[in-house]
Chain A
């Protein structure tokens, strides 16, 4: 195999898949395969989303109104379902981004305590 070996691959954190999907779709409508590929290529194969998680997640987001779906012919010359971000989805993405950066910040403070707080 030419790709990084499987043990190097990272487990997706619980609850972050939705945020990743929304973020990918900010660049424009995309089908499920494309979303999966985008996550993989943009992380240099460190993150790989299983189809068994990706597709139910897409449908979950569609049901909540954050995505809108449309059928179109794909580059493989077949019918494919393209997902597009809605305004509600956009809002949800920024909420999740805020939460995520707060979380990273908080965890970071514990892992790398600032010298000032040591006094």
Chain B
């Protein structure tokens, strides 16, 4: 648009030529004429620029000026490399952390699911707060009632999980987790196949042909995306099934399974217990809203139906359990567990951002005080407030832009770490990827920071009395600047303190968890899953097989003992359900007292010696305890002490009231033959839990083997596997691990929590230390003259050093007090939204304070040392 640069030049040249010619014609000498013409013309460049600017749109001037300011900013920042690097790195940490967290939050909490019309997809949950059950799922009779009565749900889908031994895909028989679903499931979920077909109504019922769909993850990772698997017939435990298709990638909910099969593949699902028992709950329930129905209307109708069902079958819903129904969108249900932790992390990231910004604000403020001469000169030369502000804005834009760029580089790997972390809480985190939203967040934060920072320094004003002067040769801090500097430093300390205290709390908890004595011999015991090929089926042949297996394994070199069981401590927490009620001869509950309840743990012979649980009285189970022999049990120490304070628990008779195990028989009277120490196989930090053990041979199904090793437990894995394979080539073997490693695995969410928060706290601490050091260094350099005077009138360098140190300590102390008050207030507010967050104990508070004070002393040392070394003569001359 408009004339080109050379045309403008030509026009001016033409003018000059005419002007010279005219003068020569008048008789002037050529050189003088040329000189006079140029002089008359004036500023060539300026004229050319204003000619050009005629043709430009109005905003062009502003942009061009900003560009000039940015170039200027780049040059002047390159001269202050230390400051620039500090600011850029600080901002990068703040922006990177926030962008990464936001990516994860967006991926896990905000992004829609791939399911068709996912916002009409609901999840129905039955809970029993009275007995501490958050999600007790549904039984088939309950689901049938809902299907028959509820009108506002177009279709229900149900899903339950079983373990199958899968034979026919790959070489080895393998244990797979399978979802067993009715024919409506995939239609309700709104999912599509990537290969073949999914299950439909024709696959429903006991007469259908066995059919299974592979999940995308299983197909692509374990089967190398082999397209020929579709149509193949495989064995799932005792039944056969045809692989009919592969499911598209989707959030694996409620369980991350390898296959999803129809009901006919699972003998258990066809059994009478499953079909008729109202309390046999193992099925999760989904629904798709009917046209016109809303989440609210569905919730109302479902609750009404549920209330009616409860009234009709009081025996299945005890008043104590207080069974309730919850209805939520599937998306919310999936992200619910991650919500609190992610929002807390987002808060932590925001805190880091605040700290980073106030630190940078400090540095910028200090810099602007140093630049007051430059700014005053420019103001005196006619630069308006806008122009000066623009200079500052350009500088902070450059700083924040580079910070954001570096932050993005940090954010990318951070997203990967955080996604792995969040995957512990929500399966959706597995699909979190780095996308453009990261860029937008970083850019937004950078601009926000830049604008904020540009308005931190005060501009020189001609009117303000006692403002910036042109005369002063050295830096002076006005009281208000000093206040601002200290305010920012205190803010940083306060926020860092909160983060440090929180991280300290998590770390102390973690250390306590890791050092706790669990009561098991965790290092020497190897646990293996050796599930029967089909669940829920008691097969006498199986029992015989396990007996042979244990015998053969105990004969292996390096094995000190072998036992069987149903529950691997911590890993299988919750597998056997809630405690059951029991009665015992010689103990009568007081009036109105509920009968005592205890966990039931069927275990094999020699279980206690193999797992290292001390036997306190009587005997442990041995090979003589068979299904046909006397029914016996062993109680934990807490049961014995609580019910028989006189120590006469042995030989008492006890029996279960109700049925603590699915599909159990009539209550049988058992004789207590032993008392063992308390262990808690559900929590690493155990409470003395009432536990009653009984022989596996008398009830239960063996599916776990424990091997006590003399040396390294893992060196036994190959020989143990070989022994089992020799006896049964179809027996799956899974997850061999020592109890120590299982404990570590169970604790890993805690460890990750502590790790991530400690990371944030570390970043915050680093920034805060830089901030305190920066403020002190600046105040020392600004007080050089004052120090000189003080030295001259007799102060010792030592007292100057102490003065600066105490100044640093004071900032930190004020920050800590503010942080304590603010943090306490925040935790009160937060716990009303998120439930109990926990307050850090004295150790973590004192620890955090100690770390901060030490950091402050270290940060003050350098400026303090400089203050004490001020050269008297130079200091006094400096002005």
Contacts and interface: CB of A to CB of B under 8 A. Distances in A.
B60 to A, nearest CB: 14
Contacts of B19: 33
A79 interface: yes
Interface stretch (B44-52, B170-178, B324-332, B487-495): B44-52
B304 interface: no
Nearest to A31: B14
A75 interface: yes
A60 B52 CA distance: 10
Contact of A32 (B3, B11, B22): B11
B42 A78 contact: no
B2 A80 contact: no
A55 B11 contact: yes
B18 interface: yes
A22 to B, nearest CB: 16
B42 A76 contact: no
Nearest to A52: B47
A34 B55 CA distance: 23
Given A50-B42, A59-B51, A74 B10 contact: no
Contacts of A8: none
B10 A81 contact: yes
A56 B47 contact: yes
Contacts of B7: 81
Interface string A67-84: 000010011111111000
B21 interface: yes
Contacts of A78: 13-14, 17-18
A51 B41 contact: yes
Contact of B21 (A32, A50, A75): A75
B511 interface: no
B381 interface: no
B311 interface: no
A76 B51 contact: no
Contact of B11 (A52, A60, A76, A81): A81
What is the interface of chain B mostly: helix, strand, loop, or mixed? helix
Contact of B50 (A34, A52, A79, A81): A52
Q: Which of B18, B22, B46 has the most CB of A within 10 A?
A: B18
Interface string B22-64: 1000000000000000001111001100110111000000000
Interface residues of A, number: 22
B2 A74 contact: no
A75 B51 contact: no
A94 to B, nearest CB: 24
A81 B55 CA distance: 17
A118 interface: no
B345 interface: no
Contacts of A79: 10, 13-14
A58 to B, nearest CB: 8
Contact of A75 (B2, B18, B40, B46): B18
B151 interface: no
Nearest to B42: A52
Interface in B232-272: none
B43 A52 contact: yes
A75 B17 CA distance: 9
Contacts of A63: 2, 54-55
Contacts of A74: 14, 17-18
Interface string A18-48: 0000000000000111100100000000000
A76 B10 contact: no
A25 to B, nearest CB: 16
A4 B3 CA distance: 37
A76 B18 contact: yes
Nearest to B44: A51
B15 interface: yes
A78 B12 CA distance: 11
Contacts of B40: 51
B20 interface: yes
A56 B14 contact: no
Contacts of B22: 37
A37 B40 CA distance: 13
B98 to A, nearest CB: 47
Contacts of A33: 14-15, 18-19
B458 to A, nearest CB: 36
B20 A76 contact: yes
B54 A51 contact: no
A76 B54 contact: no
A88 B7 CA distance: 24
A81 B51 contact: no
Nearest to A61: B54
A80 B14 contact: yes
A74 B50 CA distance: 24
A51 B2 contact: no
Nearest to A58: B51
B532 to A, nearest CB: 90
Q: Which of B13, B19, B51 has the most CB of A within 10 A?
A: B51
A56 B51 contact: yes
A76 B47 contact: no
A60 B54 CA distance: 6
Given A55-B51, A75-B18, 10 more contacts: A32-B14, A33-B18, A50-B42, A51-B40, A51-B41, A52-B43, A76-B20, A79-B10, A80-B14, A80-B15
Interface of A: 31-34, 37, 50-52, 55-56, 59-60, 63, 71, 74-81
Interface of B: 2-3, 7, 10-15, 17-22, 40-43, 46-47, 50-51, 53-55
5 contacts: A31-B14, A50-B42, A55-B50, A78-B17, A79-B10
Interface pairs A-B: 9 shortest CB-CB: A80-B14, A33-B18, A76-B17, A59-B54, A76-B21, A78-B17, A56-B50, A33-B15, A81-B11
